[in-house]
């Protein structure tokens, strides 16, 4: 096993014992990138020079031997919508093609403070709008498991990089499933914490009330390490929650015996791939064998989730993306003669098709005369969906559902059918609407393509989510071996 395929937990131990150096780990990662990146295209920007410098600094700290943070010397990839000071941050868009951020996003700053090594900025659907990473202005990412398939999206680059050993850990964002769905498609683990758990300062906004930063890794335990580093209140983000931050790694040890796990009926209906359904039910069965109690229940407003999501997300996006006007930074169309045509041409040429589609949708949603019919109504639906979960959590400790109704599809298969693409998010968007923590853990394959199990928790109860995921991972892994 190459160093780049090992877990962060193992590497951290080996580093402390001085069996290996961070430089060796980092070089292993860049060797893997040299080998695979051309085919997978997980990164928009690689930061090899910076990474090696950080690795050497991490090694010096290890030699110094004082209190060393767990992530010291561990390679981490950052989704390219998180600002990195002095490093190009494109958001997968031509309009920010040459944008160099002037500051570090809070989650990035916290990772670097822990001594993490920055591998590069990962590919994504432009402005995180998409479910396949095909909407990147820098070309699509391929699924390392089967390169003719998509890696999911929008954090396809991050999930593919973790899967292929092009990084050990990744930090990404999830607005409607953008961490969980690519994690599922690439057979890795992805966590979207509770809204407010991780600061959004420096995360380039797509839909502010839905965006949340989270983790992608090859094990639940590694995700817990990332959460320990990036979670916590931040005075620079007014929506950041001032709640106590537990040690997420400690939550992993507990068993699932006696836990009440809900299976929402509406998530196992028509449209769900039979194979996916079987794997998810298989996982539920395993947890029951280990002492959890399965309870079938109903989330009656589930059917409104996709509509509510696409109304709210596009409305917020239409406003959030107004700042890309060619005035201050980023791409500016060279031809215009006056300010209005500068706006028109800069935005027409700087944004891709899907981004423009969502800006137009969102502009329409907020327009005079339509606002109540769309935006207000979507907010009402959002409240009802949230209340569904509140009621469910009176009876159960967590919920199990599929992450995606299907396994990874082929590149180009859905790109011409936006509505088909939107439906891929059907099981994930509700958790952004309700702000709840949710995780994707691999629960087997269908025809060699991975299936993700979604574990959903109560607000700020990532611990139960991690605990169930970790337990499942351990028992299923043991059975597999």
Partner 1 sequence: MDYEPVICFETHVELKTQSKLFCRCPASYGKTPNSRICPVCTGQPGALPVLNRKAVEYTVRAGLALNCSINRRSRFARKNYFYPDLPKGYQISQYELPFCENGSLEILGDDGRPYPVGIRRIHLEEDAGKLIHSSSSFSASEYSLVDYNRSSIPLLEIVADHQRNPLRSVKEARAYLEKLRQILIHIDVSDCMMERGQFRSDVNVSVRPRDSKEPGNRTEIKNMASFKFILEAIEYEIKRQTGILESQGEIHQETRLFDEEKGMTLPMRSKEDAPDYRYFPDPDLMEVEIDEAFLAGIRKSLPELPDEKVNRFLREYQIPRNDALILTRDRIVSVFFERCARTCEDRKRLSRWMLKDLFQVLNAASIPMEKCPIKPEDFSHLINLISRGELTDRISQSVLAEMVHSGGNPGVIAEERDLSPIKDVRLLEKIVDEVIEENPQLVSRVRAGATKPVNFLMGRAMEKTEGKANPKTIRELLRKKLQTH
Residues 6+ apart with CB under 8 A from 193: 212, 213, 214, 227, 231, 437, 462
Residue 356 in the binding site for partner 1 (CB under 8 A): no
Q: Which is nearer to partner 1, 248 or 343 (CB)?
A: 343
CA distance 246 to 228: 8
313 binds partner 1 (CB under 8 A): no
296 binds partner 1 (CB under 8 A): no
Residue 355 binds to partner 1 (criterion: CB under 8 A): no
Match 């981490």 to its residue by tokens: 76
Name which position in 98, 298, 339, 348 contacts partner 1 (CB under 8 A). 339
440 is catalytic: no
Applying CB under 8 A, the span of 62-70, 203-211, 285-293, 416-424 interacting with partner 1 comes to: 203-211
Per DSSP (E only), the strands in 164-257 are 169-174, 189-192, 212-217
The question of whether 154 is a catalytic residue gets the answer yes
Nearest CB to partner 1, comparing residues 269 and 371: 371
| CB of 140 closer than 8 Å to CB of 127 | no
Q: How far is the CB of 425 from partner 1 (least distance, A)?
A: 19
**Contact call for residues 36 and 166 (beta carbons, < 8 A):** yes
With contacts defined by CB under 8 A, name the span among 71-79, 217-225, 232-240, 293-301 that binds partner 1: 232-240
Binding range to partner 1, per CB under 8 A, among 27-35, 320-328, 416-424, 447-455: 320-328
Give yes or no for residue 200 binding partner 1 (CB under 8 A): yes
Residue 470 Cβ vs partner 1, minimum distance, rounded to whole Å: 32
Q: Which is nearer to partner 1, 50 or 100 (CB)?
A: 100
Cα(422)–Cα(428) distance, rounded to whole angstroms? 11
| Euclidean distance between CA atoms 158 and 170, whole angstroms | 6
Backbone angles phi, psi at 406, to 5 degrees: -140, 170
CA distance 448 to 222: 24
List 79, 192, 414, 458, catalytic entry: 79
Q: At what angle do helices 22-40 and 156-164 cross, to 10 degrees?
A: 120
Residues that bind partner 1 (CB under 8 A): 81-83, 89, 91, 96, 99, 101-103, 105, 200-205, 207-209, 235-239, 315-316, 318-319, 321-325, 327-329, 338-339, 343, 363, 366-368, 371, 375
């Amino acid at each position: 096993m190459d160093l780049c395929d090992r877990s962060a937990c193992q590497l951290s131990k080996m580093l402390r014992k001085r069996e290996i150096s961070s430089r060796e780990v980092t070089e292993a990662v860049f060797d893997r990138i040299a080998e695979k990146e051309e085919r997978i295209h997980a990164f928009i920007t690689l930061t090899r020079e910076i990474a090696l410098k950080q690795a050497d600094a991490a090694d010096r700290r290890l030699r110094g031997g004082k209190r060393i943070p767990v992530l010291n010397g561990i390679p981490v990839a950052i989704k390219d919508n998180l600002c990195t000071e002095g490093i190009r941050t494109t958001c997968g868009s031509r309009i920010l093609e040459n944008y160099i951020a002037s500051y570090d996003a809070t989650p990035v700053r916290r990772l670097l403070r822990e001594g993490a090594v920055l591998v590069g900025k990962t590919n994504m659907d432009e402005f995180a709008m998409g479910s396949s990473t095909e909407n990147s202005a820098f070309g699509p990412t391929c699924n390392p498991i089967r390169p003719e398939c998509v890696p999911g999206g929008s954090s396809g680059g991050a999930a593919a990089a973790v899967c292929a050993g092009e990084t050990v850990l990744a930090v990404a964002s999830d607005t409607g499933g953008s961490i969980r769905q690519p994690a599922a498609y690439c057979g890795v683990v992805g966590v979207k914490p509770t809204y407010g758990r991780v600061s959004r300062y420096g995360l380039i906004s797509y839909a502010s009330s839905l965006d949340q930063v989270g983790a992608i890794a090859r094990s639940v335990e590694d995700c817990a390490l990332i959460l320990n580093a990036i979670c916590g209140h931040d005075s620079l983000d007014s929506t950041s929650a001032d709640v106590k931050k537990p040690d997420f790694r400690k939550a992993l040890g507990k068993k699932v015996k006696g836990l009440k796990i809900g299976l929402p009926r509406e998530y196992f209906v028509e449209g769900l791939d039979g194979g996916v359904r079987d794997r998810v039910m298989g996982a539920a069965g395993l947890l029951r064998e280990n002492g959890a109690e399965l309870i079938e229940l109903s989330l009656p407003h589930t059917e409104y989730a996709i509509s509510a999501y696409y109304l709210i997300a596009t409305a917020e996006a239409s406003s959030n993306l107004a700042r890309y006007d060619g005035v201050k930074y980023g791409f500016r169309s060279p031809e215009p003669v006056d300010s209005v045509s500068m706006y028109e041409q800069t935005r027409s040429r700087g944004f891709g098709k899907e981004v423009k589609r969502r800006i137009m949708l969102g502009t329409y949603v907020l327009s005079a005369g339509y606002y109540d019919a769309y935006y207000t109504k979507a907010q009402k639906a959002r409240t009802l969906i949230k209340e569904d979960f509140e009621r469910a959590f009176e009876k159960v400790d967590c919920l199990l559902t599929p992450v995606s109704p299907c396994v990874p599809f082929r590149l180009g298969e859905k790109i011409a059918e936006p509505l088909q693409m939107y439906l891929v998010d059907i099981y994930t968007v509700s958790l952004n609407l309700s702000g709840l923590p949710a995780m994707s853990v691999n629960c087997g394959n269908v025809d060699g393509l991975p299936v993700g199990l979604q574990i959903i928790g109560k607000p700020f109860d990532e611990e139960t989510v991690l605990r169930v995921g970790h337990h499942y991972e351990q028992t299923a892994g043991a059975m597999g071996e």
